[in-house]
Homo-oligomer: A and B are copies of this chain.
Amino acid sequence: MANNPTQVSILQDEIRSRYDTLSKRLKQVARYILDNSNSVAFDTVASIARQADVPPSTLIRFANAFGFGGFNEMKQMFRQHLMEETANYTERARLFRQSAGEESSAPETPSEILNMFTMVNGQALQQLAMQVVPEELEHAVALLGEAENIYVIGLRRSFSVASYLTYALRHLDRRAFLIDGLGGMFTEQLSMVGPKDVVVAVSFSPYSKEVVELVELGAQRKARQIAITDSQVSPLAAFSDVCFVVREAQIDGFRSQVASLCLAQTLAISLALGSSKEGQ
């Protein structure tokens, strides 16, 4: 499906191959067109020009450079393409549901796996949105907002979420530290934690011994703790001020990380938007 080289895909290939030889503004246009083919089909020259941050005339120049009589001529091609695509869209959506729906039979091809996995992850996200208690979310954001230092712990499977959260917090100019155990120095990395700090711990069954120990250490030092875990009776839950229980999607024993990541990002975004209100 849609593998036969269409007019548009031929053009896209040519844009890609000539990309390096284009001038600065023409590169901008090329980029915009490759990344927003829908917009080209829908929007007017003026509006595309605004979005791509170039003058309208550049768009016409671009079209001319690729052999069109004008920008509109190129636009028609994208429209045509989009119409053919959308004709298939509903059909594809149906196939998508179908292949994702057959949970019993073992998925065969990678794209079936992708279909199924995206679907169950989508459901997990929906569930996440429903299950998270707004007050807890606000509480967690408030804790992060007031924290002097934020220590983020997550090992093995959860390391990716922890590292992302640390990255995001750093970009919000928070004093965030990822406890990664580099050089075996878990305890040392957390040794400075104090009552004005927050520990964010991410861990799923089977819970890493190290994480549990670090959380205990944090509790002894009277730090506030936020847990992201998979059960109310997780060892993290006992020590935490706020505990998010996240149900991850799962396929053939592979547990996803998508919901946890989404939650972590939500915390970061909320912090970013909230902090502007709190002033300095």
Of residues 257 through 280 on chain A, the ones whose CB sits less than 8 Å from some CB of chain B are 257-258, 261-263, 265-270, 272-274, 277
CB–CB B125/A137 < 8 A: no
Report yes or no: B262 in contact with A258, Cβ–Cβ below 8 A: yes
- Residue pair A269, B257 in contact (C-beta under 8 Å): no
A122 at the binding interface (Cβ < 8 Å): yes
Describe A's contact surface by its main secondary structure: helix
Q: Does A23 contact B (CB under 8 A)?
A: no
Q: Please, could you name 26 A-B residue pairs with CB atoms under 8 Å apart, sorted by A?
A: A19-B233, A35-B230, A41-B42, A96-B126, A96-B129, A109-B137, A110-B140, A110-B141, A111-B137, A114-B262, A114-B266, A117-B262, A117-B269, A118-B125, A118-B266, A121-B125, A122-B125, A160-B160, A160-B167, A160-B261, A163-B163, A252-B269, A252-B273, A256-B261, A257-B265, A258-B258
The 3 tightest CB contacts between A and B, nearest first, are A111-B134, A160-B164, A110-B270
